[in-house]
């Protein structure tokens, strides 16, 4: 089977919803054991139920990726029971606003999850992977490389995700650790639906169509499309890919303007 992950153990942060849910399901379908880490335990448990009811393997753990000590303990516990092969740093939060609309508290909140969260997970994972190699995938964004209006703090954090990816890939080549990032454009998740409903009541369809057309291809990505790319990057078929940003953006970066 192409992209076979049988026998591999994978951590997915934020695996209880949206892109993380799709990635957790996809890697489990390819044979991996999905360790789903999420701040919402109920959501994570629901995804575990979906995966195991299909005959695949998964478990859930409540955690806060911004908590350095907790993440070291959680990842260490997983590593004490199984060889950690894959880490997918998917957990993240958003903020809408330019610099004047972004408080110091907003900056700290996004830094804690989107940047420090990757540090808190990658550091203990790398310690486990150094003996046998492994794969790290960070979920970045088109905002890592192009300007998006009113995304000051979010763009700051996703730019850091991109450069952390490059650094990890460079520093751990000799250990057989591959590190790449995926940069989606707008993805149709419950977050998007909730954002539209909250900010554009009565105009949901109009705004959904407008946001969809932001991508030159004319629609948003599905979480499953992002998950398929993640599966490839986790697999042995991607053994030659490291230190690279993989946009999945409907032509947004190159075809807009």
Catalytic annotation, residues = 154
Rounded CA separation 222/241 (Å): 23
CA neighbor of 9 nearest in space, from 36, 40, 41: 36
110, 154 contact by CB (below 8 A): yes
Buried-exposed string 62-79: b where 16+ CB fall within 10 A, e elsewhere = ebbbbebeebbebbeebb
What SS3 class is residue 198? helix
Residue 188 CA from chain centroid, whole number:
15
Give the number of other CB atoms < 10 A from CB of residue 118.
Answer: 28
Residues 6+ apart with CB under 8 A from 225: 248
Rounded CA separation 35/11 (Å): 5
Assigned token pair, 214: 């932001």
Report the phi/psi class of residue 58: left, alpha or beta, with left for phi > 0 and alpha for psi in -120 to 50.
Answer: beta
Rounded CA separation 47/30 (Å): 16
């Amino acid at each position: 089977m192409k992209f076979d992950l049988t026998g591999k153990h994978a951590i997915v942060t934020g695996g209880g919803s949206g892109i993380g849910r799709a990635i957790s399901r996809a890697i489990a379908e390819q044979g991996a054991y999905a360790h789903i880490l999420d701040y919402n335990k109920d959501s994570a448990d629901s995804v575990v139920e979906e995966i195991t009811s299909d005959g695949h393997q998964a478990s859930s753990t409540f955690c806060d990726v911004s908590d350095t000590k907790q993440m070291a303990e959680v990842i260490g516990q997983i590593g004490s029971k199984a060889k950690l092969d894959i880490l997918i740093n998917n957990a993240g939060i958003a903020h809408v606003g330019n610099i004047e609309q972004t408080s110091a508290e907003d900056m700290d909140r996004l830094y804690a999850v989107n940047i420090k969260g990757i540090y808190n997970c990658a550091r203990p994972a790398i310690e486990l992977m150094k003996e046998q190699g492994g794969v790290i995938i960070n979920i970045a964004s088109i905002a890592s490389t192009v300007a998006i209006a009113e995304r000051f703090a979010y763009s700051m954090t996703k730019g850091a995700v991109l450069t952390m990816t490059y650094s990890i890939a460079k520093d751990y080549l000799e250990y057989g650790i591959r590190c790449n990032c995926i940069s989606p454009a707008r993805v149709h998740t419950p977050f998007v639906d909730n954002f539209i409903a909250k900010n554009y009541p009565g105009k949901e369809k109009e705004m959904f169509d407008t946001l969809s057309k932001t991508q030159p291809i004319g629609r948003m990505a599905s979480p499953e499309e992002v998950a398929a790319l993640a599966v490839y990057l986790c697999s042995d078929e991607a053994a030659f890919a490291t230190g690279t940003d993989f946009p999945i953006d409907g032509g947004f970066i190159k075809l807009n303007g």
